[in-house]
Amino acid sequence: MSSKSYGYTVRTERLRVLGPTELFACLLLILVVCWLAFPRDLAVTLRNARLDAVTLSYMQAWLKAKPDDHELRLLMARELIVLGRFDEADVQLDRVEAADAGYQSEVRWLRLQWDFKRLMAMDPELRGSSRLQAETLASVRSQDWSTLTTDQRRELAEMALGLGEVQQTVRYYRLLATEAERPGEWYEKAGRVLLGQGNYLSSGLAYGEAMEASADATVRKQYFLEALASLEAGSLHDVALRFASRYEHLYFQDKAVLYRLMRLAQAGGNLAQAQRYAVRLLRLSGRGEQR
């Protein structure tokens, strides 16, 4: 096609733009060349890149050139699940499973994340009777703890809590406590969850474990008082007083704690123990006045 302008013939033909197929082929070719030149650098870059449309295209092209890169395929599946693109994620997980390359636990974990995300997106009133709820619960219970990372173990415990599985949640919290730098925090979480379910005895015992697992005196005191409060909330005064008797010697110089113990004994009808705490409290007050 041409036209005349100022006496000259000017070509006005438009250049043909590459179609999607040609563009993808070019991208694949570039990636293959890059892979041959520096495969490690490109693979690391793709693993560390934030997933967007461009990165996803690169990943797809890379996996066409290197289909046995199962770790990258799992990474892409995980990111697709986060984005809510479940069908695409499922395709990638199926391919990893079909390869039978020893990634079964990783696939099982990602499928659990997928199911949990879909379940949480449902109307709460429909969850309880749904097949997805039952399948997700079964998956939460059957995860192999030994194959999970610390972050995954924590996420699994929170999934159990989100599904209302209190005993399973507490079990996971206790397992996390055994490997944590501050185990008392996990026992405290267990105590709080149990208290919310009205399981006062187990809650008090969990706070007691939190106290035993903590080295800081201020934190130990906090957990001690939390344990007493949980037991008293369940009208378990005798249990609370027995628990208090084990640790009371640590707080004979603490007026606030002695007063708390005195009131606990009074509420439990143990007047002799209440009097004993009252005497110590008076003596402590007397010493303070003499000074």
DSSP 8-74: EEEE-PPPPPPPHHHHHHHHHHHHHHHHHH-HHHHHHHHHHSPP-HHHHHHHHHHHHH-TT-HHHHH
Looking at per-residue confidence, does 218 or 100 come out higher? 218
Instruction: Determine the pLDDT at residue 85.
Output: 84
Instruction: Determine the pLDDT at residue 36.
Output: 47
Distance between CA 95 and CA 113 in Å, rounded? Answer: 18
Looking at per-residue confidence, does 97 or 201 come out higher? 201
Q: Which of 260, 118, 77 has the alpha carbon at shortest distance from 268? A: 260
- 22-to-13, 19, 27, 29 alpha-carbon distances in Å: 21, 5, 9, 10
DSSP for residue 182 = S
The answer to whether residues 1 and 10 touch, using CB atoms and an 8 Å cutoff, is no
Which range has the top average pLDDT, 16-20, 23-27, 87-91, 241-245? 241-245
Asked if residue 197 has pLDDT above 90, the reply is yes
Give me 103's structure tokens. Answer: 């990634």
| pLDDT band, very low/low/confident/very high, at 75 (cuts 50, 70, 90) | confident
* Architecture in CATH of 148-234: Alpha Horseshoe (1.25)
Distance between CA 237 and CA 270 in Å, rounded? Answer: 9
Lowest-pLDDT choice from 61-65, 132-136, 199-203: 61-65
Map out the domains of the chain as residue ranges.
Answer: 21-104, 148-234, 248-291
Looking at every residue in the chain, the average pLDDT score rounds to 85
Give the pLDDT mean for 78-102. Answer: 85
Asked if residue 238 has pLDDT above 80, the reply is yes
Give the pLDDT mean for 10-37. Answer: 56
Percentage of residues of the chain with pLDDT beyond 70:
79
Instruction: Determine the pLDDT at residue 59.
Output: 77
The answer to whether residues 58 and 31 touch, using CB atoms and an 8 Å cutoff, is yes
Residue type, 109: W
Looking at per-residue confidence, does 195 or 125 come out higher? 195
Residues of 217-234 as b/e, b for ≥16 C-beta within 10 angstroms? eebbbbbbbbbbbbbbeb
Which range has the top average pLDDT, 74-88, 94-108, 171-185? 171-185
Residue type, 44: V
Phi, psi of 66 (to 5 degrees): -135, 75
Instruction: Determine the pLDDT at residue 267.
Output: 95
Instruction: Determine the pLDDT at residue 210.
Output: 98
Q: Rounded to two decimals, what is the model's pTM?
A: 0.76
DSSP for residue 121 = T
| pLDDT band, very low/low/confident/very high, at 38 (cuts 50, 70, 90) | very low
The DSSP string of 191-204 is HHHHHHTT-HHHHH
Distance between CA 122 and CA 108 in Å, rounded? Answer: 21
Looking at per-residue confidence, does 35 or 58 come out higher? 58
Asked if residue 279 has pLDDT above 90, the reply is yes
DSSP for residue 148 = S
Distance between CA 124 and CA 111 in Å, rounded? Answer: 21
Which range has the top average pLDDT, 48-52, 66-70, 88-92? 88-92
Distance between CA 80 and CA 53 in Å, rounded? Answer: 11
Distance between CA 205 and CA 212 in Å, rounded? Answer: 10
Instruction: Determine the pLDDT at residue 37.
Output: 44
Looking at per-residue confidence, does 64 or 200 come out higher? 200
Percentage of residues of the chain with pLDDT beyond 90:
58
Lowest-pLDDT choice from 157-161, 163-167, 177-181, 282-286: 282-286
Give the pLDDT mean for 178-186. Answer: 96
Give the pLDDT mean for 139-164. Answer: 95
Give the pLDDT mean for 246-256. Answer: 95
